[in-house]
Amino acid sequence: MNEFSPRQKAARVKLLVLDIDGVLTDGRVVYDDSGREIKFFDIKDGHGLKLLQRAGYAIVLLSGRKSAANRARAQELGITALIEDAKVKLPVLEKIMAQLKLQPEEVAYMGDDLIDLPPMRACGLAMAPADAWDPVKQAAHWIASRPGGQGAVREACEFLLKSSGKWDEVTARYF
Ligand SMILES: [Mg+2]
């Protein structure tokens, strides 16, 4: 534990790493007759990520599973850093941090299940949706009031932007 508040931790973040299932989605997967996966993403979450991109943040989507729906969503959001099938996430996160030359304090990670605990512990700001599994919420520095796939990511984006003082600049065109 250190003395910094979640807001102070958020002010230093330059990279947001997001789990997909249960964070960018509500965690449910529908299969059609051909076995193709259908997932629900939130358009408001997407706009939050566009605001982060506008402010110069790096975004990485890091999933333990593999799905065409993930790739379609990443493409629509203009996120080129999509890593799938990462059953062990911490080494992947460490590699990303090394490539981008980022310190742990400059990284936020949002996850909802046990697979996310190691990367959450390794970064400066651990975030979780409201419906994350209990040990994950206990490990989080910041918890959204909304569940995964229903605004949790949008809240996280706004928290980062407001904590760093970039919110007014990236939303000026709307007000
Ligand atoms: Mg998940």
For ligand 1, the distance from its centroid to the CA atom of residue 17, given in whole angstroms, is 12
For ligand 1, the distance from its centroid to the CA atom of residue 62, given in whole angstroms, is 9
Q: Is residue 12 part of a domain?
A: yes
Q: Is residue 173 part of a domain?
A: no
Q: Is residue 84 part of a domain?
A: yes
Residues with Cβ < 8 Å from 118, sequence gap 6 or more? Answer: 88, 89, 90
Q: Which residues pair with 38 in a beta bridge?
A: 30
Query: What are the respective helix, strand and coil percentages of the chain, to the nearest 5?
Result: 45, 15, 40
Q: Is residue 171 part of a domain?
A: no
pLDDT digits (tens, 9 = 90+) for 11-35: 999 999 999 999 999 999 999 999 9
Closest CA to 23 of 79, 72, 64: 64
For ligand 1, the distance from its centroid to the CA atom of residue 110, given in whole angstroms, is 9
CATH of the domain at 65: 3.40.50.1000
Domain with 10, as residue range(s), is 6-166
Q: Is residue 51 part of a domain?
A: yes
Structural domain count of the chain: 1
For ligand 1, the distance from its centroid to the CA atom of residue 135, given in whole angstroms, is 13
User: What gap in Å lies between CA 156 and CA 99, rounded to an integer?
Assistant: 24
Q: Check residue 3 and give its pLDDT.
A: 82
